[in-house]
Structure 1
Amino acid sequence: MSRIATFFKDIRDDVVDRHDAEVFGEGFDVAANLCVDLLSSRIADLRTQARSGSPLSPEQALLLAELTDLKDETERQLRNYGHDESVESGT
């Protein structure tokens, strides 16, 4: 392959790689936000119920605590994604 052909192939490959990374990144962000938003919505519903004068059942109170912890951990791992090896390895 000539130097010019190699040059243009390298440029093409770089453009394709950057495009794929951008598209994947956007999809990752959308999925991550969807997950956090779903948790946030359920937490807000339970807190609204508790503030409205309808006390939470013990099961609902436990669910609220677990969802809050899960949301906090999800946000922590998302912030550290790609920067924290323990997040990627699942440990």
Structure 2
Amino acid sequence: MSKIDVLLIFDEIHQDFVAKGHTFISYLGVDGVDFDKLIVLNAASKSFNLASLLHSHSFIPSTDLRVRYDEFIKTIISNPTSLMRVIATQASYDFGEQ
């Protein structure tokens, strides 16, 4: 069997919504994952109703892939990160409750 060379992109934006008796496991925590081909996307927008702030984040374990991503994203997004977005996201994760 040949190895398939694919990029895995997981959207874990709903990770905080877990049914009672179940546990969320991020793909970052799965054994045997090729981190050179993995991007995990997330945001506080669903959990803490921050959608209007447009602040998501990506986890890219591979340094090479992260550099390529950063170079590409600069070509399609022109607005800088807002300090208000960063503070609201951090406050939500640090102090948010059920």
TM-score by length of 1: 0.24
Quick check: which one's helix share is greater?
Answer: 1
